[in-house]
Structure 1
Amino acid sequence: MTTIDTPAVPIRTCVAIVNRGEVCLIHRRRTNGDQFSFPGGLLNPDEEVLAALLRELKEELDLDVTALADPPALRWVQDQVNTRPGTDTLFRRLHLIHVLDAPDSIREHVAATEQDAEDTTRVVWIPLAEAADLHLYPAAGPALAALASGATVPVQLPPMHDRTYSWR
């Protein structure tokens, strides 16, 4: 069991839910273009990584995956240090990206909109190869492309910074 006290770097745990060659993403329409996010969120102090991920899946997608034989598996880690529009302060996150090879029954239980959003942010299923080319948060497009092709990528993904990632 991995429990993390309040870390110096905020940790975001998220998951690529994969079923029938498609990945479940949260689709946000922004003024500067669309953004697609893996469901997930920040760890609370003293919260285990998997417990945080399961909590976030319930909060965002109204999805309970605790009964699955194979829980989401940690696959990639990505560091993020960049500036957000309108601020000079560095934005920092360490993304723990899991993969869940989901059974068909999961699709019918995933909410159509993000449940804890203030708007009606859509939840969509997109083919892995197409999703790899989208503006993703975190920026794990190459990892999704590798997943689609059966290739492997290192656990540590290239970091997100101002030259490699722009906020939308």
Structure 2
Amino acid sequence: MSTTEATTTTPFGKIKIRTSGLVFCGTEVALLRRERPNSVHYTTVGGNVLPGEALPDALTRELKEELNLDPEHVAGAELLWLMDARLERPGPTPSPRKLHLIYRMHITPEIRAQLATEEYDELPDGGHEVGHVEWVDYRKTADLPLFPPIGDALAQLPSPDAPVASFELPGGRTATTPGSDLQIRRPGDPEHRLGVAAPQPDGITAHAGVPVSSNLDRSHRSLIGGRAACAYN
């Protein structure tokens, strides 16, 4: 096989990293709600790491851009979960692979009152898609069309600051097709298997990825500094 052929046909040859923050205030967590003509879906606050950008810098930048959360309030963010998503999209471009690094942090009601209520994603045509910041009780996220699909794991936390038993997320296979609404298959549904998957808002198909090792010491998951406190309901 020629180098050119291998380059154009090998899937998952390109890896992207996405950092996102689960920003808690009490039992509520900040999510972005995006509305489209035929569907509504939610995303965690975050985005792709830029070339050469450090992970803490990427998380801090995304939280500032999308939530207007100042860097000092990101202090103590804990790396909670890792999701390895292998995505297939139509066309000749090799299918990408995306690693989702999901951090957790806590803020006070006073800080929450100063945060953004809307976020604007720039579109290829120069327009913008509006994301509405919605504070959702984390225990009610299991039924949300959430990207990445962490709703089940999030809703099962005993409390907002509870430790997790495994760094590896359980996942269900999720599929979308160009022009269709998001369809989420949860653990226990047909075609579910261990691994991870991610619904994509631009119409691609996501397959479960390879589970990652959970043998990470929790002391190595802290991002920077301490954290603010918020009373739990």
TM, length-normalised to structure 2: 0.60
Query: Paired residue for 2:140?
Result: 130
Q: Give the 3 Å change call, closer, same or farther, for CA 113–100 of structure 1 in structure 2.
A: same
Secondary structure, in 3 states, of the residue corresponding to 1:155?
A: coil
C-alpha displacement at 1:155, in angstroms?
A: 0.7
Q: 2:42 aligns with which of 33, 36, 43?
A: 36
Is structure 2 residue 57 aligned with structure 1 residue 51? yes
Look up the equivalent residue of 1:158 and give its one-letter code: P
Aligned-residue sequence identity (percent) comes to: 33
Inter-CA distance 151–43: structure 2 relative to 1 (3 Å threshold): closer
Matched residues in 2 for 1:36 and 1:153: separation? 25
Partners of 1:80 and 1:161 within 8 A in 2: no
Distance in 2, matches of 1:120 and 1:69, equals 24
The structure number with the bigger radius of gyration is 2
2:19 and 2:102 in contact (8 A); partners too? yes
Higher relative contact order (CA 8 A, sep 6+): 1
Q: Aligned to 2:95, which of 79, 90, 94? A: 90
Asked if the contact 2:32–2:133 (Cα under 8 Å) also holds between the matched residues in 1, the reply is yes
Q: Hey, what's the Cα distance between the residues in 2 that align with 1:44 and 1:167?
A: 19
Gaps of 5+ in 1: 1-6
1:20 aligned partner: 26
Counterpart amino acid of residue 138 in structure 2: L
1:157 equivalent in alignment to 2:162: no
User: How far apart are 1:69 and its partner, in Å?
Assistant: 8.0
Name the residue aligned to 1:77.
82
CA RMSD of aligned residues (A): 2.6
The reply to whether residue 119 of structure 1 matches residue 115 of structure 2 is: no
Structure-1 residue corresponding to 2:10: none
> Unmatched 5+ residue regions in structure 2?
1-12, 123-127, 176-184, 186-197, 202-233
3-state SS, counterpart of residue 21 of structure 2: strand
**In 2, Cα distance between equivalents of 1:38 and 1:162:** 17
CA distance in 2, matches of 1:106, 1:132: 26
CA distance in structure 1 between the partners assigned to 2:153 and 2:88 by the alignment? 24
Q: Structure 1-normalised TM-score? A: 0.81
For residues 167 and 115 of structure 1, do their structure 2 counterparts lie closer, same or farther at Cα, with a shift above 3 Å needed? closer
Question: Matched residues in 2 for 1:69 and 1:14: separation?
Answer: 12
Read off the aligned partner of 2:68 and give its amino acid letter. Answer: D
2:128 equivalent to 1:108: no
Amino acid of the residue matched to residue 55 of structure 2? V
Q: Retained in 2: the 8 A contact 1:77–1:96?
A: yes
Distance 1:50 1:10, change over 3 A: same
- Whole-angstrom distance in 1 between the partners of 2:121 and 2:40: 19
Give the whole-Å Cα distance in 2 for the aligned partners of 1:109 and 1:83. Answer: 39
Moved more, 146-155 or 117-126: 146-155
Q: Is the 8 A contact 1:80 1:159 kept in 2?
A: no
Matched pairs, number? 160
